[in-house]
Amino acid sequence: MRTLTFVTAILLPMGAHAQDSAPILMDVTETHILPRFAKLTDTTEALATTAQTDCEPGSSDLRAAYGTAFDSWISASHLRFGPTETDDRAFAMAFWPDTKGFTPKALSQHINTEDAAVDSPEAYAETSIAGRGFLALERMLYDPAIAEQGNAAYRCALIRAIATDIDQNANAMHTDWQSYAPNMTQPGDDSPYRSGDEAMQELYRALTTGLEFTADTRLGRPLGTFERPRPNRAEARRSERSLRHVELSLIALRDLTARLSFDHPEIAADLEAAFARAIDRAQSLNDPAFADVGTPQGRIRVEALQQSINDIREIASTKLGPTLGISAGFNSLDGD
């Protein structure tokens, strides 16, 4: 770097976020992040174990273990940075949206060729990312079209392989998060975060990205357009978990938000009220797979839920973001 010119004509935003972020970072890592990955590994281990004893797609034990583990993942999936992002682990847990139908193709390919990768966890982890994770397992457990392919013994081995792969992936995240967490609580030259502000900004991005994904993708995809609603595009609709994911993600993001806004009680109260409205709407919506988005009444209710999440996003970006030193700049906030 030969010259580093700083222009004083324009002052950068600073000062507002000069607060001590250490207590919040400690709180978020110890009570929000690490327990979620601990719970994830517990429930994915139970899923892998259950699949070993009972690989019948209709088994109530297997489906219950699947549901519990998927709940844990949805409740942690907004923490999509650091060890969660390494090697596309988050996508390997849930390959969705699958706009080109890669998941059923990958599974059919395994079944039709009786791919031996199912015999080795290391080999399975190297197969197509679309054939891994909870959405692939959902196809195996709930999609009648898959149940007609190949033979039952191979499908059983495939179910076990996917469940084991999910568990190994969860273990890798959990292990790595334990060593990564000090990066957030002790930022500096040895950390990817040079300051507490940078670590706070990472958490804030996780919050806003999580809200965006739930509003625009989990709800936006099944809503489609008024002329052409797309209920078949709802996330995990075969297991009727679509609405549940919206609710679980909002509950997880509410917890993160309360911790991030701890030093700003008024903003925290505004956000808490907005989350309460959105979660109320989700809980009173009796349409688990968004199958009713094609009816005017059903559509209005899902749109109202989407709007209530967008209200949270608005408060987060205009009030919470600036307190964390996130520039609400015209270009930096919403670039292209």
* Residues that bind other proteins in the complex, under the rule CB under 8 A: 1-7, 9-13, 81-82, 85-86, 88, 91, 95, 97, 99-100, 129, 192, 194, 202, 205, 212-213, 216-217, 220-221, 223-225, 230, 327, 329-332, 335-336
40/215 with CB nearer other proteins:
215
User: Cα(218)–Cα(250) distance, rounded to whole angstroms?
Assistant: 12
Q: Which of 81, 258, 69 is nearest to 171 (CA)?
A: 69
For residue 309 the two structure tokens come to 């999440």
13/188 with CB nearer other proteins:
13
User: Cα(80)–Cα(206) distance, rounded to whole angstroms?
Assistant: 7
For residue 257 the two structure tokens come to 């938000």
CB of 333 to other proteins, least distance (A): 8
Cα 100 to chain center, whole Å? 20
Q: Which of 259, 248, 255, 274 is nearest to 199 (CA)?
A: 259
CB of 84 to other proteins, least distance (A): 10
16/116 with CB nearer other proteins:
16
97/288 with CB nearer other proteins:
97
49/209 with CB nearer other proteins:
209
57/325 with CB nearer other proteins:
325
CB of 114 to other proteins, least distance (A): 25
CB of 332 to other proteins, least distance (A): 4
Distances (CA, A) of 235 to 1, 94, 201, 219, 296: 48, 10, 28, 9, 21
Element (H, E) at 273: helix 265-284
215/285 with CB nearer other proteins:
215
Q: Which of 71, 147, 65 is nearest to 104 (CA)?
A: 147
DSSP 13: P
CB of 99 to other proteins, least distance (A): 5
DSSP 12: P
Measured in residues, the chain has a length of 336
Residue type, 185: T
CB of 307 to other proteins, least distance (A): 14
Helices 152-185 and 196-212, interaxial angle, to 10°?
Answer: 140
278/293 with CB nearer other proteins:
293
Q: Which of 252, 247, 213 is nearest to 36 (CA)?
A: 252
CB of 267 to other proteins, least distance (A): 23
For residue 95 the two structure tokens come to 């390959």
User: Cα(90)–Cα(96) distance, rounded to whole angstroms?
Assistant: 10
230/277 with CB nearer other proteins:
230
**Residues 41, 46, 47, 52, CA torsion sign:** positive
CB of 175 to other proteins, least distance (A): 17
User: Cα(201)–Cα(16) distance, rounded to whole angstroms?
Assistant: 14
CB of 314 to other proteins, least distance (A): 15
